[in-house]
Every structure is written in structure tokens, then in C-alpha cells.
């Protein structure tokens, strides 16, 4: 094991070439265990890779237990169990119990499908600290349409179960053109169900959301109205429910520090054991990410090329490398840069300074003219295999910037 801050292997390649020092990163504070890509829902904005159906391998219980131990030894303090739908793993209670024993703050990110009263009681006994329940909308019609399942009533029942177990409830709703006009009712529903936190997360356009961007991107006016309604509710519910409105970067003209900075606090382990700095980094070309079946998490975090490549600012080129905001946004999202420009080292095109910003302006202008007429692509194994058959760069170029249509094969 290398001593902190000593190894050249800790430095991104370009920094090593320039000889500029990069301090050793801190520990991964937040370990996300993506237990499975299997999911009963078919959400059109799912952040799982579009080719998830070609990746069916899953770590065994023993392998996950080792990942949890190694993550804690590295310094991780929070452990999320997500998927797909993590409740499809029948060893979830075992994993939660071990994470609790190790001292993590544990968090279950679920659609609610599979959370029976028995399992809720078992997870509570195992030490689960909190549950994040996703809803698609405040109406049965839109919720069930967007997830392509009949789950609205079930989610309301699960919300009550969460309260009965005494867990603080975080309700998460991904916001986009098809539900943003219901924001008033969504917030009212969260308050009625007793959520302590409501996350209104505007869609990030990668994975399935990128495929469906032309149908999901809201207009400026929709956003403005949603934000002002949210502000009014915040004032009304002060002290009862905290509301987070995650603004969409397409409309802001400013890049965000994605995952709080590549390889800075967030460590994602995919179902097959690939260690990743974000959910979708595996699609970036020319990057190797270690698998926990062959490497320790410590190696992945500190030594691997995949985690080091975009750490800090040394990898940047113009306009990022001389930008006054480079420490604030760290160049934005690498996956978004790649999807839009086929260059993972480019400035995130949501930034006004990006030479490719016109692509984002064009996408928003198309949204202003009206929703696309071609059908939504639901997250299902058939579509996944079809999309997985084309490389990501090819997929990116198949999404027509003018209409948002995705070419079918
Ligand atoms: Fe991969 Fe933003 S989603 S860096």
C-alpha cells in the first residue's frame, strides 16, 4: 500500500506529465452498492446503463460483504443500497445488518416494490437507518405510465409502512416535462404521506433520460413556475418538510460539479463488481475500471487509472484549464460531455463557455417549440439489447439534435 500523497500513480496522467502536484484524494465518504440492475419498473429516465440487459452478472452475498468491509476500512460513512430494485435481492437484510454492524449510516433507495410489512420489519431489525422512496408523479395515470407498471397504490402503501417503522422518509421524484406541471400536487402528496424530505430532482440527461431527452426536457416557463411554487410550499411547510429542488443544468448555462467531483467522495460499485466514480462512467472510452472480484476497493479508489483520470483539474483543456470557475465545477459532467461531443475531456456543453454549448441551446429551443412526437423508449431488456448493440458514441450521434428522435435499427 502506498503512503498518502506519495505515489505518482495517484496523479492524473496529464498532471504527471506537467509535474504539477495533486494531493492524495480524501476517502470515499459515500459508498453506493448497486446490488442489481433487475427492476420491475421500466422508467423512461432510469440512470442505469442503457445496455444493462447485457450485464447480468451480480456479486454474491460474500462478495458484497467484503465490499462493505473494505469500504468502511477506507473511511466510507454512508452506504446506500440501490439498483435496479435492491429488494429483488433476498440477501438485502444480511447486507444491511453487516453495514449497520460496521458503523455505516444505511440508506435504501427503492421503488417500494417488494417492501412488504415483513421485510420492512426485518430491515428495521437489521438496522436500516432510512428509506428513499421514489414516486413518478402525484397521479396514478402518470406514475403508472412513466414506470410502465401499476405501482401508484403500492407506493402509497409503502410510504405508510415506512412511517410505521419510524424511519425518516425521503421521497424522490424525478422531474421533467411530463410531470413538472403537477409539482403543486406532488408536494402536497409528499406532505400528506408524511415525508420529512422531498427531493425534486430535475432529470439529468444521460442513460435512458438521454435517449428520451426530447420528450422529457421542460420549457423555461415550466421551470420558472415550478420553482416559484416550490418556494411557496417551502415557506408553508417550514419545520415540517425540507424540499430540495435540484435545478436542471441544461437551462442554467453553468456546469455542475458532478458527483461532487470525480473520485472525490462517491464510490459506486455496479452489480457485477465494477468500481466506478459515477453510475455511468463505464461507457467512457479508453478507461479501465477495476472489478472488486480482482482488486481491493483501496486499489480502485487510490491507484486505478479509471478513478484518477478526471480527478482534480490537471486533465482539463481549454476553455476549462484557464477558467476562473474550474475549481467550482471541475469541468462539469464527464459522461454528459462525452454523450454530447464524443469527447470525454471536453468542457461540459451545458456551460456557456463550451464551444459545443450550441448543442444544449438547440435542445432547449426544440423543447420550447413543443414535445417530440416520436414514442418514449421504456427501460426494458428488449430496448436495452437494441441500444446496447451500438457503441455509446454511435448512440450519441443517433439522437437527432433537431428532433430528439433516436434512429432505430
Ligand atoms: Fe458520469 Fe457525471 S454522470 S461524470
Cα 24 from Cα 385, distance rounded (Å): 39
Q: 338: Cβ–Cβ under 8 A, 6 or more apart, which residues?
A: 283, 284, 285, 344, 346, 392, 393, 396
Q: Which residues of 128-166 are buried (b: 16+ CB within 10 A; e: fewer)?
A: bbbbbbbbbbbeeebbbbbbbbebbeebbebbebbeebe
Beta carbon of 344 within 6 Å of any ligand 1 atom = no
242-246 and 266-269 strand pairing: unpaired
Q: Give residue 23's pLDDT band: very low, low, confident or very high (50, 70, 90).
A: low
Beta carbon of 341 within 6 Å of any ligand 1 atom = no
Beta carbon of 128 within 6 Å of any ligand 1 atom = no
pLDDT digits (tens, 9 = 90+) for 36-67: 999 998 889 999 999 999 888 999 999 999 99
Per-residue pLDDT at 359? 94
The fraction of the chain above a pLDDT of 90, given in percent, is 70
Beta carbon of 282 within 6 Å of any ligand 1 atom = no
Per-residue pLDDT at 241? 95
**Helix (H) or strand (E) run with residue 234 in it:** helix 220-236
Beta carbon of 387 within 6 Å of any ligand 1 atom = no
78-82 and 30-34 strand pairing: parallel
Q: Please give the residue that has the higher pLDDT: either 196 or 149.
A: 196
Indicate which atom in ligand 1 lies nearest the CA of residue 310.
4
Q: Give residue 246's pLDDT band: very low, low, confident or very high (50, 70, 90).
A: confident
Beta carbon of 278 within 6 Å of any ligand 1 atom = yes
Cα 14 from Cα 19, distance rounded (Å): 8
Per-residue pLDDT at 372? 67
Over 50: is that where the pLDDT of 17 sits?
A: no
Beta carbon of 207 within 6 Å of any ligand 1 atom = no
Going from the Cα of 367 to the center of ligand 1, the distance in angstroms, rounded, reads 23
Cα 178 from Cα 386, distance rounded (Å): 25
pLDDT digits (tens, 9 = 90+) for 348-376: 999 999 999 999 999 999 888 876 677 88
pLDDT digits (tens, 9 = 90+) for 325-352: 999 999 999 999 999 999 999 999 999 9
Indicate which atom in ligand 1 lies nearest the CA of residue 259.
2
Cα 202 from Cα 218, distance rounded (Å): 9
> Can you spell out the DSSP letters for 119-187?
HHHHHHHHT--EEEEEES-SSHHHHHHHHTS--HHHHHHHHHHHHHTT--EEEEEEE-TTTGGGHHHHH
Over 60: is that where the pLDDT of 294 sits?
A: yes
Beta carbon of 269 within 6 Å of any ligand 1 atom = no
> Which residue puts its alpha carbon closest to atom 1 of ligand 1?
335
Cα 270 from Cα 375, distance rounded (Å): 29
Quick one: DSSP state of residue 399? Answer: B
Over 70: is that where the pLDDT of 9 sits?
A: no
Per-residue pLDDT at 247? 83
Going from the Cα of 101 to the center of ligand 1, the distance in angstroms, rounded, reads 31
Beta carbon of 333 within 6 Å of any ligand 1 atom = yes
How confident is the model over 109-116, as a mean pLDDT? 94
Going from the Cα of 166 to the center of ligand 1, the distance in angstroms, rounded, reads 34
> Which residue puts its alpha carbon closest to atom 2 of ligand 1?
333
Ligand 1 probe mutation, 46, 50, 334, most atoms within 8 A of CB: 334
Least confident residue range of 106-120, 260-274, 328-342, 371-385: 371-385
Closest C-alpha among 358, 376, 375 to residue 366: 358
> Can you spell out the DSSP letters for 313-374?
STT--TTGGG-TTHHHHTTS-HHHHHHHHS-TTSPPTTSTTSTTHHHHHHHHHHHHH----S
By three-state DSSP, how is residue 9 classified? helix
Indicate which atom in ligand 1 lies nearest the CA of residue 280.
1
How many residues make up the chain in this entry?
Answer: 409
> Which residue puts its alpha carbon closest to atom 3 of ligand 1?
335
User: In terms of DSSP H, where are the helices of 251-299?
Assistant: 297-298
Going from the Cα of 193 to the center of ligand 1, the distance in angstroms, rounded, reads 32
Over 90: is that where the pLDDT of 177 sits?
A: yes
Per-residue pLDDT at 69? 98
Over 80: is that where the pLDDT of 148 sits?
A: no
Tell me the sheet residues that pair with 133: 110, 171
Q: Give residue 30's pLDDT band: very low, low, confident or very high (50, 70, 90).
A: very high
Ligand 1 probe mutation, 210, 261, 281, most atoms within 8 A of CB: 281
Average pLDDT, the chain: 88
pLDDT digits (tens, 9 = 90+) for 305-328: 999 999 999 999 999 999 999 999
Residue 137 near residue 143 (C-beta atoms within 8 A): yes
Counts for the chain of helices (H) and strands (E), in that order:
17, 9
Beta carbon of 255 within 6 Å of any ligand 1 atom = no
Beta carbon of 65 within 6 Å of any ligand 1 atom = no
Per-residue pLDDT at 153? 83
Per-residue pLDDT at 88? 97
Cα 131 from Cα 168, distance rounded (Å): 7
| Residue 306 burial by Cβ neighbours in a 10 Å radius (0-12, 13-18, 19+) | buried
Going from the Cα of 334 to the center of ligand 1, the distance in angstroms, rounded, reads 5
Beta carbon of 206 within 6 Å of any ligand 1 atom = yes
Beta carbon of 280 within 6 Å of any ligand 1 atom = yes
Cα 364 from Cα 251, distance rounded (Å): 7
Amino acid at each position: 500500500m502506498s503512503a498518502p500523497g506519495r505515489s505518482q500513480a495517484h496523479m492524473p496522467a496529464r498532471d504527471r506529465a506537467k509535474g504539477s502536484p495533486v494531493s492524495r484524494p480524501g476517502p470515499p465518504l459515500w459508498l453506493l452498492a448497486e446490488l442489481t440492475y433487475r427492476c420491475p419498473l421500466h422508467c423512461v429516465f432510469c440512470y442505469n446503463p442503457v445496455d444493462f440487459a447485457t450485464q447480468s452478472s451480480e456479486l454474491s452475498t460474500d462478495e458484497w460483504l467484503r465490499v462493505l468491509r473494505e469500504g468502511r476500512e477506507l473511511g466510507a460513512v454512508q452506504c446506500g443500497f440501490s439498483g435496479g430494485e435492491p429488494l429483488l435481492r433476498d440477501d438485502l437484510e444480511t447486507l444491511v445488518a453487516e453495514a449497520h454492524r460496521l458503523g455505516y449510516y444505511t440508506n435504501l433507495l427503492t421503488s417500494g416494490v417488494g417492501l412488504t410489512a415483513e421485510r420492512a420489519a426485518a430491515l428495521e431489525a437489521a438496522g436500516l437507518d432510512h428509506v428513499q422512496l421514489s414516486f413518478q408523479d402525484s397521479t396514478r395515470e402518470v406514475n403508472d405510465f412513466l414506470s410502465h407498471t401499476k405501482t401508484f397504490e403500492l407506493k402509497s402503501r409503502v410510504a405508510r409502512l415506512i412511517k410505521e417503522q419510524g424511519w425518516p422518509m425521503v421521497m424522490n421524484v424525478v422531474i421533467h416535462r411530463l410531470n413538472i406541471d403537477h409539482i403543486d400536487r406532488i408536494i402536497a402528496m409528499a406532505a400528506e404521506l408524511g415525508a420529512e424530505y422531498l427531493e425534486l430532482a430535475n432529470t439529468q440527461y444521460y442513460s435512458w433520460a438521454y435517449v428520451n431527452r426530447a420528450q422529457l426536457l421542460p420549457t423555461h416557463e415550466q421551470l420558472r413556475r415550478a420553482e416559484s411554487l416550490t418556494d411557496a410550499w417551502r415557506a408553508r411547510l417550514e419545520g415540517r418538510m425540507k424540499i430540495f429542488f435540484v435545478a436542471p443544468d441544461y437551462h442554467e448555462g453553468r456546469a455542475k460539479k458532478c458527483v461532487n467531483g470525480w473520485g472525490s467522495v462517491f464510490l459506486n460499485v455496479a452489480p457485477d463488481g465494477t468500481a466506478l466514480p459515477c453510475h455511468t462512467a463505464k461507457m467512457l472510452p479508453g478507461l479501465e475500471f477495476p472489478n472488486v472480484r480482482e482488486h481491493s476497493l483501496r486499489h480502485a479508489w487510490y491507484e486505478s487509472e479509471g478513478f484518477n483520470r478526471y480527478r482534480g483539474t490537471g486533465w482539463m483543456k481549454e476553455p476549462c484549464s484557464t477558467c476562473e470557475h474550474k475549481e467550482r465545477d471541475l469541468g462539469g459532467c464527464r459522461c454528459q460531455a462525452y454523450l454530447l461531443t464524443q469527447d470525454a475531456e471536453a468542457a461540459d456543453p451545458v456551460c456557456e463557455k463550451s464551444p459545443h454549448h450550441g448543442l444544449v441551446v438547440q435542445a432547449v429551443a426544440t423543447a420550447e417549440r413543443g414535445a417530440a412526437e416520436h414514442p418514449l423508449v421504456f427501460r426494458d431488456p428488449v430496448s436495452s439489447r437494441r441500444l446496447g448493440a451500438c457503441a455509446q458514441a454511435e448512440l450519441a450521434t443517433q439522437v437527432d439534435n433537431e428532433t430528439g428522435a433516436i434512429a432505430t435499427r
